[in-house]
Amino acid sequence: MKKILVANRGEIALRVMRSCREMGIQTVAIYSEADRFSPHVKFADEAVCVGPSPSNQSYLKGDRIIEICKELGVDGIHPGYGFLSENADFARAVARAGIIFIGPSPEAMEIMGDKLSSKAAVKKYKIPLVPGSEGAIDNVPQALKVGKEIGFPIIIKASAGGGGKGMRIVEKADEFEENLKRAVSEAESAFGDGSVFLEKYLRISKHIEIQVLCDTHGNYLYLFERECSIQRRHQKVIEEAPSSVLTPELRKKMGEHAANVARSCNYTGAGTVEFIYADGEYYFLEMNTRLQVEHPVTEMVTGVDLVKEQIKIARGEAISFQQEGLAINGHAIEVRVYAEDPANNFLPDIGTLQVYKKPTGPGVRVDDGFEEGMSIPIYYDPMIAKLVVHGQNRADAIAKMKKAIDEYRIIGVETTLDFCQFVLAHEEFTSGRFNTGFVKDHFKPEYLTAPVSKEFEEIAAIIAAVALQQKENELINAAAADKKFSPWKSRLIE
């Protein structure tokens, strides 16, 4: 492959393009009108506007993306995550167009994209499953009967999709019918499929996932685990590798089971197998047939560039290392920097990055897709960046992350940075005892809202205004001095 189109935006598009550039591969960016001045557009060798700002008119327009590939002589498409990354129909269309889809086969996506079919596929490998319904629930009386047999609390899950949509926790029988209707409605709205099923809800549990890498030569490797138990609305906020609770023996056992999950659908490329862990036992949850948001922590502790490996596998190459050659080096933590207000139920806080200064230093990595002066679009996920650190051990990584968060400067929107700092300092987290109920059990919005004097607010507003004015003046001066003044340089002063 000599030219790859990245069918995505923001930080993941940039991250993929950097690995492509290191491999000597040209890149093509696509962008919506909202992303016209985004860093990933400037970084790519070529860039094409794919449509208006809403994703269903731009980043989800598979036919248009394929047309662009044909026009520009693109050899392969990397889908990143989200958007079309797990769309089997798109992957098939890409293959029919004679273009390489850098990911698994459409068949593997379909098997693992449906939680019920994925469970059926892995059964022959005797992988532990959470007690639950055998298939989709068709009616309320049947569902309630199954729920009582499983025992409350239970969780209702959409068969298709993820991200916490179509998911409801039910504590007791008299709350069941209403929650079932809501779950079905959410699933139909989000995925076009209202199928739901039931599982026993393991209240005191951890969310542990295993990174797998598989090629077309029969190699199924696992690159150890990531712990992703710090979540809000069933979505991850802090991830780390390795987990503080796994023994070497359990790590090996879970890794081998994860590899077998990949075998069950003839998987190729990079993927993630997710497990629920409770009291020394673990249960298969699902498989994500794409690169994960939190993949950098695995790269930090293994030294493997997962994007480069994806591309090599898509080219038909065998993985160049064996399971025995992999080892965990130190400890890595990732925090997701969202434009959200944790003090207001983590609701999105859209605005302009009036001040945006990233932390730097040994063992500090920032994957982002924004620059100072840019606005956070309302059309997409409000993640600004992923802040990742690597330390000699877990305590060292926690200390390094706390320092990096202190050095991160963002003015203009509320972010999850203060919340992440709260988590890192909490004894439940530092001890490793935390579980997926951390936010519910230990966090209250008032922890982040100390009273602020009127004088302080006025000073903060002046500082932000001065910083933005200084940036504008710098750009104006640069424009006056540059005979080849580019529209890129004007994006902050329009």
So which residues are the catalytic ones?
Answer: 290
Q: Residues 332, 397: contact at Cβ < 8 Å?
A: yes
List CB contacts of 132: < 8 A, sequence separation 6 or more. Answer: 150, 154, 197, 198, 199, 200
Separation between Cα atoms, residue 54 and residue 118, nearest integer Å = 31
**Spatial distance between the Cα atoms of 40 and 10, rounded to a whole number of angstroms:** 6
Residue 101's nearest CA partner among 313, 317, 319, 318 is: 313
| Residues 167, 453: Cα–Cα separation, whole Å | 41
Write phi, then psi, for 475 (nearest 5 degrees). Answer: -70, -40
**Does a cis peptide bond (omega within 30 degrees of 0) precede residue 382?**
no
Check: CB of residue 376 under 8 Å from CB of residue 489. no
Query: Angle CA(89)–CA(93)–CA(94) in degrees, nearest 5?
Result: 115
Contacts of residue 14, defined as CB under 8 A and 6 or more positions apart, other chains included, come to 39, 40, 43, 367, 368, 369
Question: In Å, how far are 305, 450, 460 from 453, measured between CA atoms?
Answer: 48, 10, 11
Cβ neighbours, 10 Å, residue 112: 25
197 phi, psi to nearest 5 deg: -140, 170
451: left (phi over 0), alpha (psi -120 to 50) or beta: beta
Determine if residue 206 is left, alpha or beta; phi over 0 gives left, psi from -120 to 50 gives alpha, anything else beta: beta
Distance of CA 177 to CAs 156, 187, 233, Å? 11, 16, 21
Residue with tokens 């203060």: 418
- Check: CB of residue 388 under 8 Å from CB of residue 11: no
Structure tokens at 428: 């439940």
The kind and range of the H/E element at 77 are: strand 76-78
Cα 433 to chain center, whole Å?
24
Number of C-alpha atoms within 13 angstroms, CB side, residue 221? 24
Q: What is the 3-class SS of 80-133, one letter each residue? A: CCCCCCCCHHHHHHHHHCCCEECCCCHHHHHHHHEHHHHHHHHHHHCCCECCEC
